[in-house]
Amino acid sequence: MVYKQSLKNLLPEEIEAWVLSKGYPAYRGRQLAEWLYGKKVEGPQAMYTLPQSLRDLIQQEGNLFLTQLVNDIPTSFADSQKFLFKLTDGEAIESVYLPSKNRRTVCVSSQVGCALKCSFCQTARMGFHRNLSAGEIVDQVLQISRWIPENITNVVFMGMGEPFHNFESVAQAAKIMNHPKGLHISARHITVSTAGLVPGIYAFAELPYPFKLAVSLNAIRDDLRDVLMPINKQYPLTDLLKAVKFYTQKTHRRVTFEYVLLKDVTMTIKDADILVSRLKDLNCKVNLIPYNMTHAPYQMPDEEEILAFADYLQSRASFPVTIRWSGGRDKQAACGQLYTETKREEYA
């Protein structure tokens, strides 16, 4: 593996155990967790309540500098803002800060690139480079929150990568974000989005945390979904919807389906009718995402078409329908537009 163990891969109690294992009392571990996740300091030498010997040990073994911000950041954050991070092995990832009226959301990446080949998504063009560690995921939020005066309220795993291809690190990162002595973000405000990896959905349903699930549906006919999202050949719609039903029944939580609007492709009357009938017994909502331009040969629908499709669907559906008006299109920071040029390494 390229990345070393980092203290930011650890829950506060695991940090405490690490500190104990080095011969220091447990309260030093609690102080260290507070410096890392509460005060969000950059490096160990700023942790002035810790003894110098422990600070030096953290410097040598703690591996705290996981992500390094490399793009210019404005001084005001009224709009969405993309953050480009370089990782210790030279790879790069993007994260997006999304402010809205009552929320301050960070959209995190879970992998460098992605193994799925969704035809409309820019990240797919990169191919898969590697998984991120839990610490590299958590550090995206820590780094961004240093720039934002108020607390981050929400995290969505909707950046680069397929979270359920990196299940363990994603689950650990979400736990650290949620932990009261971690980033202390409500579990209900942490959403993991999958392209439809069925085993991941079953595993996610078993986690003893009320994290939220989103599923990128994007098409409701197998013939079309096979083309747009080849993962559908492995996990076709019947299996996917069965897994989602299991999740909603087991957790009593509503699932969000994302549905990308590709002009003349996914937004026909026929597709709306099938959505209504196939989702009618599910505890769900449907979030329509108008297509954002990428390399792919699809067209963006205009506002009138988007509203007409949404109205038609809502007038017949038993579930709520919302529209995600993406900010950040001009900065290539909207859904499906994340892409980084990095060296691809061969991993032994």
Contact status: 301 vs ligand SAH (CB under 6 A): no
DSSP E strand boundaries for 108-210: 111-113, 128-131, 154-157, 190-194
The residue from 96, 195, 265, 276 that contacts ligand SAH (CB under 6 A) is 195
Q: How big is the chain by its Cα radius of gyration, in Å? A: 21
> What is the layout of strands, in order, in the sheet containing 67-69?
67-69, 81-87, 92-99, 104-107, 154-157, 190-194, 212-216, 255-261, 284-290, 321-323
- Judge residue 223's burial from the number of C-beta atoms within 10 Å of its C-beta, 0-12 exposed, 13-18 middle, 19 or more buried: exposed
Min separation Cβ 108 and ligand SAH, Å: 10
x-or-dash pattern for ligand SAH, window 203-232, by CB under 6 A? -------------x-x--------------
Which listed residue (114, 118, 284, 335) is catalytic? 335
Q: Single out the residue of 201, 315, 311, 324 nearest to residue 259, CA to CA.
A: 324
121 is known as an active-site residue: no
Binding region for ligand SAH (CB under 6 A) out of 19-27, 93-101, 172-180, 193-201: 193-201
Contact status: 105 vs ligand SAH (CB under 6 A): no
Amino acid (1-letter code) at residue 60: Q
Binding region for ligand SAH (CB under 6 A) out of 31-39, 82-90, 167-175, 187-195: 187-195
Q: At what angle do helices 52-61 and 26-33 cross, to 10 degrees?
A: 60
Q: What DSSP element (H or E) covers 294? A: none
335 is known as an active-site residue: yes
The residue sitting closest to ligand SAH, measured at its beta carbon, is 336
The residue from 98, 121, 177, 321 that contacts ligand SAH (CB under 6 A) is 121
Which one, 44 or 301, has the nearer CB to ligand SAH? 301
Which one, 91 or 162, has the nearer CB to ligand SAH? 162
Min separation Cβ 266 and ligand SAH, Å: 10
The residue from 6, 162, 176, 241 that contacts ligand SAH (CB under 6 A) is 162
Cα separation, 225 vs 6, in Å, equals 39
Distances (CA, A) of 274 to 27, 111, 312, 327, 333: 58, 33, 12, 29, 31
Binding region for ligand SAH (CB under 6 A) out of 24-32, 56-64, 85-93, 289-297: 289-297
Whether 29 and 14 have beta carbons less than 8 Å apart is answered as no
Which one, 80 or 216, has the nearer CB to ligand SAH? 216
The residue from 33, 58, 155, 260 that contacts ligand SAH (CB under 6 A) is 260
Q: What residues contact 26, with CB distance under 8 A and at least 6 apart?
A: 16, 19, 20
- Give the β-pairing of 255-261 and 284-290: parallel
* Binding residue count for ligand SAH, defined by CB under 6 A: 17
Q: Single out the residue of 320, 237, 228 nearest to residue 274, CA to CA.
A: 237
Which listed residue (94, 136, 162, 258) is catalytic? 94
Q: Which residues are catalytic?
A: 94, 335
Which residues bind to ligand SAH, rule: CB under 6 A? 120-121, 158, 162, 193-195, 216, 218, 258, 260, 289, 291-292, 294, 335-336
